[in-house]
Amino acid sequence: MTSKRWLVALSSLVVMLTLAGAVSFVRYARLHAPQPTLVAVAPFDILVPGLEEWRVRLAQELTARLDSMAPLTAVSQDVVRERWQGQQRPEIAALDLARRTSAGIAVYGRVDPLASRSDSVLVRLIVINAGTGEVRSVMNAPWSRALLPALARALAEQVRQNYR
């Protein structure tokens, strides 16, 4: 085989490999693009003594509520448990979780003690667009301990109102 033929053959091979790589990348990018209506709910940080069991319970209930609010769907808490990697800044970990699960929306929440009242807590919720990192909604609201079972419903409404 002459050197000219070798050059043509190798050039053709390079072009074919480049095209195959481009097709593979486009396919991968489409499969892993953030789904705008998929929500990843990170485990809540509960900093109130005696309410630790709400850390998982609140995330599970919020996930179930969001999953039942069309057009939203939620990443299951089983997947969240597998992929959750807490960091020093949990809101960034929540954003990372959403991106690793192809969710378009990240939700991070925490419950703090309310200094002035022992019968209430301070609920903080952050809704983040996982594609852009833009904070869509921040909620800081006092919440009665007696009404904790209704908290997931109220938080789900907050997320639904701010998902677009």
pLDDT value at position 164?
A: 63
Average pLDDT estimate for 45-52: 91
Predicted local distance difference test score (pLDDT) of residue 91: 87
Convert the pLDDT of each residue in 93-110 to its tens digit: 999 999 999 999 999 999
Predicted pLDDT of residue 75: 94
pLDDT (0 to 100) of residue 117: 84
pLDDT at 10 over 70: yes
pLDDT at 28 over 80: no
Stretch 8-33: mean pLDDT: 84
The whole-chain average pLDDT of the chain stands at: 89
Alpha helices in 32-105 (DSSP H): 54-67, 77-83, 90-100
Q: What is the CA radius of gyration of the chain?
A: 22
Pull the structure tokens for residue 78. Answer: 């089983």
Q: How far apart are CA 28 and CA 91, in angstroms?
A: 27
Three-state DSSP class for 53? coil
131 pLDDT band, cuts 50/70/90, is confident
Q: How confident is the model at residue 143 (pLDDT cuts 50, 70, 90)?
A: very high
How many angstroms separate the CA atoms of 135 and 85, rounded?
20
CATH classification code of 34-161: 3.40.50.10070
Please indicate whether residue 119 or residue 163 has the higher confidence score (pLDDT). Answer: 119
Residue 55's pLDDT is 86
In the chain, pLDDT over 70 holds for what percent of residues? Answer: 98
Measured on CA atoms in the order 30, 76, 159, 118, is the torsion positive or negative?
Answer: negative
C-beta separation of 104 from 130 below 8 A = yes
> Domain ranges in the chain?
1-31, 34-161
